Amino acid sequence: MNFGIPIPQVFLDGRVDTGVIRDSLQLAEERGLHSAWTQDQIIGNVEVPLMECLSLMAYAAACTTRLRLGVSVIVFPIRDPVLLAKQVASLDHLSNGRIDLGIGLGPPAVAENFYRSFGTDYSERVRRFNEGLAIMKSLWTEEKTTLNGEFQQLDGTVLAPKPLQQPHPPVIFGGQSDGALRRAASHGDGYMGAGPTTTPDFAQHVKTLRQSLADIGRDEATMPISKRVFMYVDDDADRAKRILDHWFNNRYPWMIKLNPNFVADVSVWGPPEQCVAGLRSVQAAGAETIVLNPIEDFVAQLERLTDDVIPNL
């Protein structure tokens, strides 16, 4: 098992604490964790002060020397793939080859208005995804790229410098639909289960993904599987749950309205032994890397996770 952490990214009072970001990353590196991850949200339907993911990864690269740094996942169809290819190649150099790029289609709940904000159409999302992926991989790996696409046309286009990682930084796929899982099996270098996904649902997604791999004759070992898990370690389980409830009501209020049991369905909390039991079920569902996502008190929580939880896993 590998363990990652989120890079502190949501500051509900609206003021970013760069010290917390730096201290969390450096402690994670000192404690031997595998990776640190951002999320992507440029705009939303509620006010959540969440930092832009690629900018934050550049800061994280300057604060660390060993941790892998990833985003899970960028809403890819709204991004210009030429610009994103350049940004990721630059990040790969700034981090000395430690970048993972997660991509997905984006949120269905606010899809029409969300896509329109970026001058794209929801109905084009899969076609933009497929074309954009082909563009990025070509720019990263080919001397020149010529492509007459539906949305973009490249004629002898050169991207330099190429990424340090060869043939390119790992492209991690997100998504839960059968189509998304088939795309991951065909084109992805890994799969990341979303935090707001229950463990039973994640287990079913892993089963579908592995069947898709088998259908195309691809070895399961070439598809690392990860899962983000929201959590809070506290010897008082009731207090831990109250902290989670408060945070989720600010971060994901629409999810709470849809499912009053949402926090309990997607979170692990309480004393270390209770957290270990919850995380073991995620491991049993197929996760080889678990991104342990404390929702506040990052440094103190990271100390408890590495002292009291991870050793028992």
> Under CATH, what is the fold of the domain 2-232+276-296?
TIM Barrel (3.20.20)
Reported as a pLDDT band with limits 50, 70 and 90, residue 183 is: very high
Angle separating helix axes 18-30 and 53-63, nearest 10 degrees: 50
Residue 38: its H or E element: strand 35-38
Q: What is the mean pLDDT of residues 244-269?
A: 90
The beta-carbon contacts of 86-93 under 8 Å, at least 24 apart in sequence, are 86/139, 86/159, 87/54, 88/54, 88/136, 88/163, 88/169, 89/140, 89/159, 89/161, 89/162, 89/163, 91/54, 91/57, 91/58, 91/61, 92/163, 92/164, 92/165, 92/169, 93/161, 93/163, 93/164
Number of DSSP helices (H) and strands (E) in the chain, helices first: 12, 11
pLDDT at 128 over 80: yes
The pTM score is: 0.94
Secondary structure, 3-state, 87-139: HHHHHHHHCCCCEEEEEECCCCCCHHHHHHCCCCCHHHHHHHHHHHHHHHHHH
CA 43 to the chain's CA centroid? 17
Among the ranges given (77-91, 100-114, 125-139), the one the predictor scored with the smallest mean pLDDT = 100-114
User: What are the residue ranges spanned by the domains of the chain?
Assistant: 2-232+276-296
Among the ranges given (148-152, 264-268, 293-297), the one the predictor scored with the smallest mean pLDDT = 293-297
pLDDT in tens, 203-233: 999 999 999 999 999 999 999 999 999 999 9
Q: Does residue 52 sit in helix, strand or coil? A: coil
Q: Which two tokens stand for residue 45?
A: 């339907």
CB 288 within 8 A of CB 2: yes
